[in-house]
Structure formats: structure tokens, C-alpha cells
């Protein structure tokens, strides 16, 4: 019989850090956002108004130690303001920082089935059960939907956004040959022009983590990225889209220290004569790169330093053997020349019948999806 142990205190998860890491290594398509280090940093800054519900799954009759754990499903209950009012959502702890999320361990379907059955038996603190950020690979969506339905939860699948990715198979030369000829010519020309200003280099910093004796956060490099963010066109943003914006700066700095210790930092600086002109701050786990924040010095805009940094980072990822470069949601038109695919981000939603507002949300989303489909042919739902 499958057993589920629920943890609601972030401090207690430290006892399971070793098994968490081991199960994450066995997780297909694992992302850096599924590491315990990232969850701990996220919870420190954004956990006050949420309820932590981390489910530890085992096929043993009784969970007596961390060694008995065979799957982990981190979830949170959060209040979300919608067009029909405030609703309590039970979902994954990602909040659009990344693109994809899911269970941790080699048998996610089994873990989800046990967890949703546990959720149905436990006192209800949610209006909508909604695992979000699904879709890679596609089997994740059907597996999630089947697990919800097995627990008696009717599940509706909708698209919430899209992300641009570069699939890093076949080598740089083959990839470059698939790019639009106009983009290739511009990329080559811009590199030649920039090279006339000085020695152009890509500095890419990936510490291996404390476990390998290599967890130095290199604050000098991070501060250079933050300084570029402050001087970029995004520097005046109030939406938290930059490293330097005060709404996210403390969190991102704490997350950087923890990410360096965990070995998931991927910091990219483009320099001209050792002077930083553009940055891309990413996370990386087992060859899955996620682009978190980018920026460049506006004085170098005419040299297309952002374009050059992107191209060189992708080329370097090919050389390193990475398998996916996820550039994230938003600004898809700008990313289109570089991407190999645009992947949907999906959600499975169960609207509890005892919650009138959740039923109103279900109806509204259904109507909106119909309107979107008729007007644009899109299935994007909000």
C-alpha cells in the first residue's frame, strides 16, 4: 500500500535533502527549480502568505526514515485574485519563475495518484486543485490528468502561456544552418563590427556546488550583472523584470548564494576588453538551462550585444553538452529567430463543486477559451 507523509514546515525538509537530491537525479527532464535549495530560497521570501504542502510518497507500509521515500511532490496553497474573486489554489511552488514543474522521482504517475488521493481525504484548504507548468514531455499532462481523475477529481487541461526553447541536439553548425539567412548574416556581421572595438569574450561561470568543493558565488560577477541590469532599459522597470529591482533583488541574491552552493548557477557575461557589456543570468541543472534575467549596457545597443551574447551562449551550450536552453515566456517575437520550438505551458484544473467561485472560474475560463479559439485560432487561456 502506498503511504503519503505530508510536510508543512520548510525546516523539516532539511532532513530529506539527501533523498531529495537522489530522487531529483532520477527525475526525467528535471529542472533547477525542483531543487530543494531553490524551494528554500523561494519560501524564505514568498512563503509568508502561503501554506506549504510537500508530499513524501513511499510504497512501504510505514515511512520510518528518509530512505523509505520514493517520490516527492512539492505543492503550496496560495491565494490568487481572479476575475471572479480571490480563490485558494493548490498548485506547484513555481509562480512563473520557471517554465516546467512536476513530481520528483522515477515514477511520477504513481506519486501523483497517491498524492491526489491523500489530498481528497485531508481537510480541504483549497478551492481549485491546479498543478501548473506542465507540458514537457506531453505525457506529463496526460499522467497528471489521469492521476487527478483516479482520485475523483475531474480535470480540465488548458494552456496558460508559451516558452521559447532551443533544443541542443545535432551540434552548433547544424543548428546555425537551420536559422534564417537574414539572422545568420546579421549575427556574423555584428560580431565582426564588435570585434573592431576590442577583444570580445564570453565569460560563463558554472560552479559545481559545495559538494564538489566549488560553491563560490562569485559576487563580483553577480554584481557586474546587477550593475548592467540597473543601467539597462529595464532598470527603471517596476515589474520585477530585472536583477536590480527592489521587489525581487533580495530574493534573487539569496537564491544566487543557494544556487551556487547547489551547483545550479549559469552566469553569462559578454565582455569587450574585459569590460562587461551584456549579461544573461540563468540556472542550469543536468544540461537544462533556464534563462532567468538578461540585460545589456545601452551604450552598446547599436552593436547588438544582446544578440551576440545569446548566440555565443547557445554555441557554448552545444559545446558543453547541454540538452535544452529554455529562454522563458514573454518577448516571443524577439526569441523566434533563435528558438527551435515554442512549447505550451499547461495546467490541469479541478474546480471543487462546493466552491461557487471556483465554478464561476471554470465557466469563465471555458467561455474565454471559446472566444480565443474563434477569434485567433489560439488555445491560450487566462
Buried b (16+ CB within 10 A) or exposed e, 102-136: bbbbeebbbbbbbbbbbbeeeeeebbbbbbbbbbb
What's the pLDDT tens digit per position in 177-206? 999 999 999 999 999 999 999 999 999 999
Return the pLDDT at 381. 54
Q: Is the pLDDT of residue 377 over 60?
A: no
311 touches 302 (CB < 8 A): no
Q: Is the pLDDT of residue 378 over 60?
A: no
What's the pLDDT tens digit per position in 320-362? 999 999 999 988 999 999 999 999 999 999 999 999 999 999 9
Question: What is the percent of the chain with per-residue pLDDT over 70, rounded to a whole number?
Answer: 96
**Helix (H) or strand (E) segment spanning residue 281:** strand 275-285
| More confident site: 139 or 378 | 139
- What is this structure's pTM? 0.91
What's the pLDDT tens digit per position in 213-270? 999 999 999 999 999 999 887 766 666 678 988 889 999 999 999 999 999 999 999 9
CB atoms within 10 A of CB 226: 22
How far is 79 from 69, CA to CA, in rounded Å? 30
Mean of pLDDT values over 269-287:
97
* Average pLDDT of the chain to the nearest whole number: 93
Amino acid at each position: 500500500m502506498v503511504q503519503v507523509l505530508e510536510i508543512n514546515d520548510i525546516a523539516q525538509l532539511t532532513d530529506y535533502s539527501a533523498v531529495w537530491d537522489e530522487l531529483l537525479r532520477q527525475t526525467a527532464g528535471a529542472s533547477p527549480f525542483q531543487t530543494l535549495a531553490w524551494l528554500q530560497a523561494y519560501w524564505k521570501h514568498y512563503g509568508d502568505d502561503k501554506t506549504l504542502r510537500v508530499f513524501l510518497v513511499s510504497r512501504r507500509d510505514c515511512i520510518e526514515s528518509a530512505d523509505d521515500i520514493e517520490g516527492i511532490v512539492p505543492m503550496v496553497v496560495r491565494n490568487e485574485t481572479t476575475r471572479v474573486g480571490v480563490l485558494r489554489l493548490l498548485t506547484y511552488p513555481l509562480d512563473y519563475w520557471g517554465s516546467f514543474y512536476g513530481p520528483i522521482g522515477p515514477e511520477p504517475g504513481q506519486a501523483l495518484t497517491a498524492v491526489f488521493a491523500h489530498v481528497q481525504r485531508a481537510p480541504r484548504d483549497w478551492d481549485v486543485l491546479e498543478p501548473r507548468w506542465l507540458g514537457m514531455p506531453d505525457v506529463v499532462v496526460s499522467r497528471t490528468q489521469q492521476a487527478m481523475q483516479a482520485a475523483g477529481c475531474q480535470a480540465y487541461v488548458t494552456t496558460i502561456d508559451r516558452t521559447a526553447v532551443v533544443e541542443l541536439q545535432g551540434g552548433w553548425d547544424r543548428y546555425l544552418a537551420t536559422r534564417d539567412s537574414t539572422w545568420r548574416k546579421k549575427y556574423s556581421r555584428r560580431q565582426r563590427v564588435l570585434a573592431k572595438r576590442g577583444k570580445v569574450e564570453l565569460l560563463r561561470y558554472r560552479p559545481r556546488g559545495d559538494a564538489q568543493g566549488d560553491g563560490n558565488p562569485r559576487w563580483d560577477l553577480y554584481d557586474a550583472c546587477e550593475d548592467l541590469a540597473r543601467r539597462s532599459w529595464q532598470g527603471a522597470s517596476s515589474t520585477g523584470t530585472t536583477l536590480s529591482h527592489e521587489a525581487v533583488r533580495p530574493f534573487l541574491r539569496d537564491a544566487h548564494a543557494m544556487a551556487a552552493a547547489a551547483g545550479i548557477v549559469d552566469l553569462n557575461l559578454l565582455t569587450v576588453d574585459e569590460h562587461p557589456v551584456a549579461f544573461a543570468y540563468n540556472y542550469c541543472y543536468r544540461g537544462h538551462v533556464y534563462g532567468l534575467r538578461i540585460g545589456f549596457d545601452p551604450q552598446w545597443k547599436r552593436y547588438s550585444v544582446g544578440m551576440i551574447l545569446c548566440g555565443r551562449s547557445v554555441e557554448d551550450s552545444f559545446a558543453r553538452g547541454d540538452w535544452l536552453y529554455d529562454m522563458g515566456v514573454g518577448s516571443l517575437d524577439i526569441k523566434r529567430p533563435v528558438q527551435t520550438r515554442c512549447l505550451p505551458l499547461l495546467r490541469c484544473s479541478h474546480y471543487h463543486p462546493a466552491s461557487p467561485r471556483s465554478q464561476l472560474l471554470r465557466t469563465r475560463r471555458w467561455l474565454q477559451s471559446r472566444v480565443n479559439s474563434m477569434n485567433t485560432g489560439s488555445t491560450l487561456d487566462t
